Amino acid sequence: MSESAGANAPKPSSSVKLVLLGEAAVGKSSLVLRFVNDDFQENKEPTIGAAFLTQKCSLPTRTIKFEIWDTAGQERFASLAPMYYRNAQAALVVYDVTKPSSLTKAKHWVAELQRQASPGIVIALVGNKLDLTNDGGDTSAAAATESESEPVKDDGEEGTAEDGEEQDTTPGDARKVSTREASSYADEEGLLFFETSAKTGTNVVDVFTAIANAIPESSLKTGRGGAGTGQTALGGRSAEDSRVNLGDRSAATAKEGCAC
Amino acid sequence: MIPWSSFVQKAQSLIDPANFNIPSLSSSDGTPSKASLFRQQFRLPDSQNPLQEITAELVLPLPNSNSGSGDSARRVDRTGNRYTGRLHLSERFICFSTQPTSFLPSATLSASTNFTGQTHGTGPSGNGFTLPLSCIRRVERLHSASHVFSLALTTWNGLLNKQQEPNFTPQRLILQLVGSRQACERFCDTLKKGLREGMKEVDNLRLVVSDCYSEYLLSGAKGKAQEGGEGDGRPPPDAGLGMLFRYPGDARKLRDRSKMRLWGEYFRENGRNATLVRQPTFHKLIRVGLPNRLRGEVWELSSGSLFLRIRSPKLYQETLVKFQGQESLAIDEIEKDLNRSLPEYPGFQSEEGIGRLRRVLTAYSWTNAEIGYCQAMNIVVAALLIYMSEAQAFFLLSVLCDRLLPGYYSTTMYGTLLDQKVFESLVEKTMPVLWEHLIKTDVQLSVVSLPWFLSLYINSMPLVFAFRVLDVFFLEGPKVLFQVGLAILRINGEELLDVQDDGSFVSVLKTYFSRLDESAHPRSENPKLRAITRFQELMVVAFKEFSGITHSTIEEQREKHKDAVLENIENFAKRTSIRNLGPESKRLSVDDLGTIYDRFYETLYQWQQQQKLLEEERRRQEKKKSERLSVLGPPADTEMGRVGLGPSPTHMDYDAFREFLAATSKWAVSDTPAGSRSDSSSGFGSLKGSSSKSLLWANRRQPADHEFMQRLYRKWATDSDEGLSLQNVVNGLARLKGSPDIMNNINYFFNLYDDSGNGQVDREGILKISEAFLFLSRRGFEGTITATQSLEDLNSPRDRDHAEQNTLTVDERFLGSVSAFIRRCFEYADPSHPENQKASQQDATTEVTDKLDSFAIGDDEEDLIDVDDSKSNKPAPNATSKPSQSGDGEPNRPRSESANPALDPNNPLHITLPTFRMVILADELLEQFFESYFPQSFHLSDHPHPASLAASSSLSSNLTTFSNIGSARPSNLATAGSVSVGASGGIVPPGKGLRGVLDNIVTDGIRMAAEVKKRMDEAQRDLERNALGRDDDEDEDDDDDELRRDSNAAAAMAGGISSWGAGAYGGDMERRSVRDADRDLLEGAEVLSVREKGEGSSLLDNKDEAETKGQHGAKGSPSSAHDAEVVSKVVEFES
């Protein structure tokens, strides 16, 4: 994907620690896998603690190297989470558009991050499994649709491997969380918001690009060498104590795309 | 516990300290108990306790092929190998180890602080054996010339199989006991007893042993099968999926065959499976890696899970059958991961492998529901299943979760987090430069190392190497994980020092793991050095360089970091759960929620602790051995009682809820310090002093038990069988405290008593409400209610005695308010049956109050109280509130009916919420009660929600005017307006019976208070009667009358004293010292009035006394000064 990004550029490069949080089986690992390898992997071992991956993302002015911590979703691993989101500059809070409880859990995570993570952390709320819905982005009251789950065999998505409950056979819209509900919540809390499909790849790269754009320049550490001091400076960052509200900017920045 | 253990210590000093022990159930402090150290040392099941211990010499016949040497404890002579060590005896095991044991006999009984010795409970290291007594076939006393007390143990080794092996000689161990003759005899006696018991388990042993691959190997069946299988054709026992899907790694490269031969030889000379004797070769053979087919068996043996399996060989199958078809969260979670457990191993791409994995994980999740299923267990179990049968894996998993990796897979994973902290601190200690670098670059080590520990390196290293680590791990214990981890960092130290971030840190190690099979010294001239793989290097570094990392090092560090880790987890859990309590909770401040949270869990844990102690006590009384019901599960002395330690109880039952309320509100504290609940279900106090913990519990305030609390409990619970969850409690409190709205509080209270849910509270409910008022107010109002001299609801008699009235305390005035409340309720009550309306409309006001008065003065009705008491399981702790059986308002009460036409079920009445509201707001004190006292009586944090304070005054001023209510119900206004003038607050309504008596007295305004009290008692009595009427018929009543009269006489004396201290409004003397003076004044007045009333009214007082006497014995000790005063009054009264 982005192998060229690092090579061709005198562009400043900086690494960003990003953590993925969310209920089990919403497709966190799938999102990362799609982003990092543009791939799926069936029967991937469950994430123990957290998996670590990196991927570069090239913006017009700079290169962002994401250090992605993909955390385990099982409830009891939640108490390990503080270890992973410590010093994270960005977080992807993932829910499953077909599972309302996962949005609740996502809200819990957002609240946790807002209170406990580094100030100024960029949070993106991501509704995954868009491929299971009819509209793929329609904001009309899709949540009202009570039709049964999908027959779609999305073999690539790790999430489905974990999804014991969705085995209905009626074709139709499995969406249970309306875009409006989630996006208005995201607006309220000042989060980036996306609906994605790790299976089809819809919006996946856009999420990461938007995050890359949303990271305030001042909080970026540059290059390897400065990392040591850069990181420590991170903890005491005072300039952007207030969270940056990017809700409305995200649409534009997503278009810019990145080289990955 | 304290007196008992000191007794034991005394006894020990008198007898032989080494041989007198009782099993200790648990240690109160952090240090492990001797029994638990003993079990850890020999990997024994939890039921085992050290009974006997003696120094001994183990003499083994010299094997023809043994070439090992170098162990100092061993010397070879004519008779064979000799090992000196300690011989231990437990209920079902005899164990010998040359390693100095970690539990000195001089250590205190419950805890060994002198925790010395090298093994520190790391498992069966050292030379020796751990024999189930059932393995011993025969014990002979040998007569040796040197007067040595020697025993020869002949074991079942090899004899449990039907077929005899060629050249088989029975295993015979010779033990020479070193000690006084007496000590030796005592040891033998205990051994004899144990052996008798052990006989019963021989069948189990046979069952288990026949499954062991070692038996198959030694029986020669394997050879025969290969030759053509004409022998018995016995199929090899299940040695894991590897037999079907190949074992990982290249068997030739692993030199599996030669390892197998070596083990075969070892087994032949030293016994196999349960009868194996550990000699130095054993440890060496394990270090070089186990052969595939024996791996499972040796794991099972060295981890001790074999002993569990011998204990109940069929447990695995039984568990599966028992829970067949049932569902659980754990099962759902397991199902999700089945396809993702070692997917690269072909066995787990098949239904066979996945099926086994599913069954083992499921069975374990049933046996230990507290752990259930944790991701990573799937990986570990999958690995185990490659080498062992399902049953073996099941028991081994249990040992893993409960003993070897305590807390790793628990719901809070505190064990995992704790060991990460320990690991970090060890890195800091042993590799300070690297540690500093990690700190500097902000690389968080545990992020990398956590999966190593959690999945035992299985998904970090290539499988073949991970299994080698496991080989040692099962023998030597958790320290191995640390040693290997440290070695990994040490070996990669230089590269890691160049690392600047998490990412490169991870990748350095990833690369290292992928190259473990390569030569550690690829460029070395020396071919021997070149042949050493990186993995071998790792093992050497781990066990040589870090040999100083022992079990005790780990334990020490764990102890050091435990509190911090648990606190972290608990803070996380607390803030998460408080945040997630939902919108309702937002009406309370965060501090309040924190207080509720803490109190909720504190109560639950103390309650749980109490229940546990009771359980232990019960068992002790039954003189049952403290043997566990199941062989599996966490050790008996597992620490509990913290949120951070794992699954917490989530629901409180009613009794725990009482404790919670007692910690929250003064009124929920019982008036009697202890023993108020003498029923069998609780039995507090019986345990007092038996241990420090229960002492602590006993010193706490005892919760009261009142009908109001029951109502609250039912109201708050979503499912009262299940109990109250934190959410329930928070919602309940939020509704009461969260909004400062007096209307809300009044509505809430009304709903509490609206049993039928139809917006009506009937006659009984009204009385119960008034009773609750008194219950809630009996400890004073904490200054939240002030009686202003508003004229709003003063009646004419009061007006007359305005001056005197000023001297009344708020409490007394409140009594008056409650009294007025009842009367008004009846005045404004609606008839329940429309057809009766005409008849009752007018009567309702006069007649009801009327009759209420008239019947109450009769002296036979009061008798019902005692009957009621004896019927009730829970004697009420305070005078004014006897719990009635239920609030169901069932109108079946013939007794009351006949006694009191006002309670005629044919003439039922009820009040509605608006009426209730009106009646409350009509009274200044009741209004304040709802506005401030009631919500504020629930004490949470010091920082309540700002909103709950802000609006209170303004709101109430708007709402409390009578006209406001009136406008809502204009029809009522008319009635209210007209009637209230005449009757509201009138202490003496135009009653027929009572009036005659009262008219003479009423001139004295002070007496009014006494009257109010009496009236309340009447109401109370009426209530009792109603409740009683349902249970008893009249015959019984008559009988009881007689009894009662007798007891009344006594009560006049004995009860007279107490009634003052513990009466309806008598409270805690210290707390209310300021008001005591006032009260005494009043009491003086009351006595006066009593005297004036003379004989006729003294009956009334008798009644009071009788009523209060029920609990005088148990009430708190009033100040002696007050006592004296009271006595003098009583004397006065008597004269």
Q: At what angle do helices B315-322 and B351-367 cross, to 10 degrees?
A: 90
Cβ pair B37, B98 in contact under 8 A:
no
pLDDT in tens, B974-1006: 333 333 333 333 333 333 344 433 344 333 444
B577 contacts chain A (CB < 8 A):
no
Which residues from A are below 8 Å from B337, CB to CB?
A: 46, 162
CA distance to partner chain A, nearest, from residue B648 (Å): 13
Q: Give mean pLDDT, residues B878-899.
A: 42
- Non-local (6+) Cβ contacts of A253 within 8 A are A209, A210, A213, A214, A246
Q: What is the DSSP letter of A91?
A: E
What are the φ/ψ torsions at residue B584 (nearest 5 degrees)?
-55, -40
pLDDT at B202 over 60: yes
pLDDT band at B812 (very low <50, low <70, confident <90, very high): confident
pLDDT at B1053 over 60: no
| Residue B835 or B19, more confident | B835
pLDDT in tens, B147-200: 778 888 888 887 776 665 666 778 888 888 888 888 888 999 999 999 998 888
Q: Give mean pLDDT, residues B862-884.
A: 41
pLDDT at B1056 over 80: no
Model pTM?
0.69
Q: What is the DSSP letter of A53?
A: E
Spell out the domain ranges in chain B.
2-209, 414-568, 608-627+648-718+725-737, 754-1041
Q: How many angstroms separate the CA atoms of B283 and B275, rounded?
A: 16
pLDDT band at B786 (very low <50, low <70, confident <90, very high): low
Flag if B412 and A228 touch (Cβ within 8 Å): no
Q: How many angstroms separate the CA atoms of A243 and A66, rounded?
A: 20
pLDDT at B729 over 90: no
Q: Which of B375, B447, B573 comes nearest A83 by C-beta? A: B447
pLDDT in tens, B933-944: 777 778 777 666
CA distance to partner chain A, nearest, from residue B339 (Å): 6
In chain A the domains, ranked by start, together with CATH numbers, are 3-256 (3.40.50.300)
Helix/strand/coil percentages in chain A, nearest 5: 35, 20, 45
Helices (DSSP H) in chain A: which residue ranges?
A: 3-7, 28-37, 81-85, 100-116, 158-162, 179-189, 204-214, 227-235, 250-256
Cα distances from A5 to residues A1, B183, B574, B1089, in angstroms, run: 9, 81, 44, 100
**What is the pLDDT, as a whole number, of residue B336?**
83
Two structure tokens written together for B475? 């023998």
Flag if A47 and B417 touch (Cβ within 8 Å): no
Q: Give mean pLDDT, residues B476-493.
A: 94
Flag if A48 and B459 touch (Cβ within 8 Å): yes
**What is the pLDDT, as a whole number, of residue B233?**
59
Which residues from B are below 8 Å from A54, CB to CB?
A: 503
Which residues from A are below 8 Å from B447, CB to CB?
A: 49-50, 52, 69, 83-84
> Which residues, in sequence order, are bridge partners of residue B88?
B53, B95
**What is the pLDDT, as a whole number, of residue B713?**
84
Q: Which of A49, A79, A87 comes nearest B451 by C-beta? A: A49
pLDDT band at B945 (very low <50, low <70, confident <90, very high): low
Cβ pair B929, B785 in contact under 8 A:
yes
CA atoms within 13 A on the CB side of B552: 17
> Which residues, in sequence order, are bridge partners of residue B178?
B55
pLDDT at B253 over 90: no
Q: Give mean pLDDT, residues B277-301.
A: 92
pLDDT at A15 over 70: yes
pLDDT band at B59 (very low <50, low <70, confident <90, very high): confident
Flag if B447 and A232 touch (Cβ within 8 Å): no
**What is the pLDDT, as a whole number, of residue B883?**
41
Q: How many angstroms separate the CA atoms of A190 and A185, rounded?
A: 8
Q: Give mean pLDDT, residues B589-605.
A: 84
User: For chain B, what is the largest distance between any 2 Cα atoms, rounded to a whole number of angstroms?
Assistant: 123
Which residues from B are below 8 Å from A71, CB to CB?
A: none
Flag if A161 and B339 touch (Cβ within 8 Å): yes
What are the φ/ψ torsions at residue B278 (nearest 5 degrees)?
-85, 125
Which region among B129-138, B443-452, B464-473, B798-807 has the lowest average model confidence (pLDDT)? B798-807
Q: How many angstroms separate the CA atoms of B820 and A216, rounded?
A: 69
| Residue B1126 or B768, more confident | B768
Q: Give mean pLDDT, residues A131-147.
A: 52
Give me the residues of A, 38-67, that contact B with CB < 8 A: 42-50, 52, 54, 67
Reported as type and span, the H/E element at residue B83 is: strand B80-89
Flag if A80 and B573 touch (Cβ within 8 Å): no
Query: What percent of chain B clears pLDDT 70, i.e. is strictly above it?
Result: 60
Q: How many CB atoms lie within 10 A of CB B92?
A: 22
Which region among B29-38, B203-212, B462-471, B856-865 has the lowest average model confidence (pLDDT)? B856-865
| Residue B122 or A88, more confident | A88
**What is the pLDDT, as a whole number, of residue B163?**
60
Q: Give mean pLDDT, residues B948-953.
A: 44
**What is the pLDDT, as a whole number, of residue B403?**
87
- Its CATH architecture, for the domain B414-568, is Orthogonal Bundle (1.10)
pLDDT band at B1026 (very low <50, low <70, confident <90, very high): low
Flag if A45 and B342 touch (Cβ within 8 Å): yes
Interface mutation vs chain A, best among B401, B416, B500, most A CBs within 10 Å: B500
pLDDT at A200 over 60: yes
Q: Give mean pLDDT, residues B705-719.
A: 81
pLDDT at B108 over 60: no
**What is the pLDDT, as a whole number, of residue B383?**
95
CA distance to partner chain B, nearest, from residue A59 (Å): 21
pLDDT band at A98 (very low <50, low <70, confident <90, very high): very high
Which range of A11-20, B131-140, B477-486 scores highest in mean pLDDT? It is: B477-486
pLDDT in tens, B351-402: 999 999 999 999 999 999 889 999 999 999 999 999 999 999 999 999 999 8
Q: Give mean pLDDT, residues B893-911.
A: 54
Flag if B336 and A161 touch (Cβ within 8 Å): yes
Q: How many angstroms separate the CA atoms of B94 and B190, rounded?
A: 11
Flag if A80 and B336 touch (Cβ within 8 Å): no
For residue B792, which of B1013, B1006, B1007, B984 has the smallest C-alpha distance? B984
**What is the pLDDT, as a whole number, of residue B389?**
95
B380 contacts chain A (CB < 8 A):
no
pLDDT at B330 over 80: yes
Residue of B nearest to A111 (CA): B579
pLDDT at A223 over 90: no
Give B2-209's CATH code, choosing from 2.30.29.30, 2.170.8.10, 2.30.290.10, 3.40.50.12280: 2.30.29.30
pLDDT in tens, B752-761: 887 777 777 7
A137 contacts chain B (CB < 8 A):
no
Q: What is the DSSP letter of B806?
A: T
Give me the residues of A, 201-230, that contact B with CB < 8 A: 224-225, 227-228
Three-state SS string over B1040-1107 comes to HHHHHHHHHHHHHHHHHHHHHHHCCCCCCCCCCHHHHHHHHHHHHHHHHHHHHHCHHHHHHHHHHHHH
Three-state SS string over B524-586 comes to CCCHHHHCCEHHHHHHHHHHHHCCCCCHHHHHHHHHHHHHHHHHHHHHHHHHHHHHCCCHHHH
Q: At what angle do helices B351-367 and B377-387 cross, to 10 degrees?
A: 120
**What is the pLDDT, as a whole number, of residue B454?**
93
Q: How many angstroms separate the CA atoms of A250 and A124, rounded?
A: 10
Q: Give mean pLDDT, residues B53-70.
A: 67
Q: How many angstroms separate the CA atoms of B62 and A29, rounded?
A: 60
Q: How many angstroms separate the CA atoms of B702 and B699, rounded?
A: 8
Question: Average model confidence (pLDDT) for chain B?
Answer: 70
Interface mutation vs chain A, best among B328, B331, B332, B333, most A CBs within 10 Å: B333
**What is the pLDDT, as a whole number, of residue B101?**
55
Which region among A177-181, B196-200, B730-734, B905-909 has the lowest average model confidence (pLDDT)? B905-909
Label residue B975 exposed, middle or buried (CB < 10 Å: 0-12, 13-18, 19+).
Answer: middle
| Residue B598 or B793, more confident | B598
**What is the pLDDT, as a whole number, of residue B44?**
87
pLDDT band at B601 (very low <50, low <70, confident <90, very high): confident
- What is the side-by-side strand order in the sheet with A63-71? A50-58, A63-71, A13-22, A90-96, A122-128, A192-195
Give me the residues of B, 502-561, that contact A with CB < 8 A: 502-503, 506
**What is the pLDDT, as a whole number, of residue B218?**
84
B573 contacts chain A (CB < 8 A):
yes
Interface mutation vs chain B, best among A33, A48, A113, most B CBs within 10 Å: A48
Which residues from B are below 8 Å from A161, CB to CB?
A: 336, 339-340
B1042 contacts chain A (CB < 8 A):
no
Query: What percent of chain A clears pLDDT 90, i.e. is strictly above it?
Result: 31
pLDDT band at B634 (very low <50, low <70, confident <90, very high): low
ipTM: 0.73
pLDDT in tens, B513-529: 999 999 988 888 888 88
Query: What percent of chain B clears pLDDT 90, i.e. is strictly above it?
Result: 21
B350 contacts chain A (CB < 8 A):
no
B2-209 and B414-568 have identical folds: no
Query: What percent of chain A clears pLDDT 70, i.e. is strictly above it?
Result: 64
Which residues from A are below 8 Å from B460, CB to CB?
A: none
pLDDT at B220 over 80: no
A69 contacts chain B (CB < 8 A):
yes
Residue of B nearest to A25 (CA): B336
